[in-house]
């Protein structure tokens, strides 16, 4: 097995956290996978993987190596496809991380079409509402909603998504429908949302006619830290929420939620794609970025 093949095996084992899983994915004997990694470690003169009975993880040297060879392998893969008749197809594994509701509501239902066009593509779809270190965690691309911190990553802005205020019919029957944010401080509840960055409850916000954003402290009886629980608590009548419209459009149409205070919506939130430096952008990443942009476009504000 040559050095490039050893690199490929090493990356597969590191990404899957298992020699057995990597062997299945590569369609190689487990002994061959283990031998390839051991030979690579002998050649570079350092241990690259921590091995336990339950998990395989990168050492500090392994992390440093994988960050260098990922773009190299992507470049070799693209070169290999240059003169193939299937060169327009994406191939290989792509690790993406997106907010949980975007994964469930938008990406998962549309994935069959993408994978039908690119049958050699394998997608690792992480769905979380937490901050992710793309390079350290081996993520090729991430979708993020909201303002971003400065970083060395490439940021591709897609546009803004509209947010609305919602309540369940049961809540409105019990507490009445608020007409103005000033009514929220007394006699109304919100479902609190804990920031993934700070852990603190996010303030209720609305944009006035002048476009300026105003924050309010509105009482809450329950605070959650993910979108699924946020919507579920609203459906249960526990309070008002502020949510992207696409996230609850089906619930609005079914009458399970209702928009309130349409004249006092939160300011739209930017949606961005993040990925490492441009020289690391493989064919499969380009395919995913273009596909997701098309998928997201109907849900963005003009």
What pLDDT, in 10s, does the model give residues 246-275?
899 999 999 999 999 999 999 898 999 988
Q: Is 159 left (phi over 0), alpha (psi -120 to 50) or beta?
A: left
Q: How confident is the model at residue 1 (pLDDT cuts 50, 70, 90)?
A: confident
Indicate if the pLDDT at residue 293 is higher than 60. Answer: yes
Angle between helices 60-81 and 3-16 (to 10 degrees): 120
More confident residue, 84 or 160: 160
User: What pLDDT score does 85 carry?
Assistant: 43
CB atoms within 10 A of CB 294: 10
Q: Give the pLDDT mean for 50-65.
A: 85
Compute the Cα dihedral for 293, 294, 300, 302 and give only its sign. Answer: positive
For the cut 90, the answer to whether the pLDDT of residue 153 exceeds it is no
Place of tokens 């040559």: 2
- CB atoms inside a 10 Å sphere around CB 140: 22
> pLDDT band at 15, cuts 50/70/90?
confident
Comparing CA positions, the residue from 152, 87, 47, 32 lying closest to residue 287 is: 87
* Coil/strand/helix, residue 18: coil
More confident residue, 236 or 73: 236
Name the more confident of 28 and 150.
Answer: 28
Q: What is the pLDDT of residues 213-243, one digit of tens each?
A: 888 888 999 999 888 899 999 999 999 999 9
pLDDT reported for residue 136? 64
Q: Please tell me which of 7-11, 49-53, 70-74, 109-113 the model is most confident about, judged by mean pLDDT.
A: 109-113
User: Residue 246 — φ and ψ, nearest 5°?
Assistant: -60, -25
Q: Dump pLDDT digits (tens) for 159-185.
A: 999 999 999 999 999 999 999 998 998
Write down all domains in the chain, each with its CATH number in brackets. Answer: 1-84 (1.10.10.10), 88-159+269-302 (3.40.190.10), 163-267 (3.40.190.10)
Q: Which residue has the higher pLDDT, 25 or 140?
A: 140
Instruction: Give the pLDDT of residue 279.
Output: 47
């Amino acid at each position: 097995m040559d050095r490039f093949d050893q690199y490929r095996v090493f990356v597969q084992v590191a990404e899957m956290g298992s020699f057995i899983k990597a062997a299945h994915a590569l369609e190689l004997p487990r002994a061959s996978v283990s031998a390839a990694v051991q030979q690579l470690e002998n050649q570079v003169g350092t241990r690259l993987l921590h091995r336990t009975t339950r998990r395989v993880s990168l050492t500090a040297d392994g992390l440093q190596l994988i960050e260098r060879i990922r773009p190299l392998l992507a470049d070799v893969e693209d070169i290999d496809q240059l003169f193939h008749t299937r060169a327009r197809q994406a191939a290989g594994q792509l690790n993406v991380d997106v907010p949980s509701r975007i994964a469930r509501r938008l990406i998962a239902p549309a994935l069959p079409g993408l994978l039908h066009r690119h049958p050699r593509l394998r997608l690792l779809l992480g769905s979380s509402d937490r901050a992710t270190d793309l390079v350290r965690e081996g993520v090729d691309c991430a979708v993020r909603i909201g303002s971003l911190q400065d970083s060395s990553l490439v940021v591709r802005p897609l546009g803004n998504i509209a947010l609305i205020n919602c309540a369940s019919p049961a809540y409105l029957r019990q507490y009445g429908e608020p007409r103005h944010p000033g009514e929220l401080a007394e006699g109304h509840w919100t479902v609190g949302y804990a920031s993934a960055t700070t852990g603190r409850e996010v303030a209720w916000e609305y944009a006035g006619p002048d476009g300026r954003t105003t924050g309010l402290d509105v009482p809450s009886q329950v605070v959650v830290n993910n979108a699924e629980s946020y919507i579920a608590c609203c459906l249960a009548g526990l309070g008002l929420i502020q949510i992207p419209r696409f996230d609850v459009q089906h619930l609005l149409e079914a009458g399970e939620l209702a928009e309130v205070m349409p004249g006092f919506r939160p300011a739209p939130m930017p949606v961005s794609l993040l990925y490492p430096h441009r020289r690391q952008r493989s064919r499969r990443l380009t395919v995913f970025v273009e596909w997701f942009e098309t998928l997201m476009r109907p849900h963005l504000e003009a």
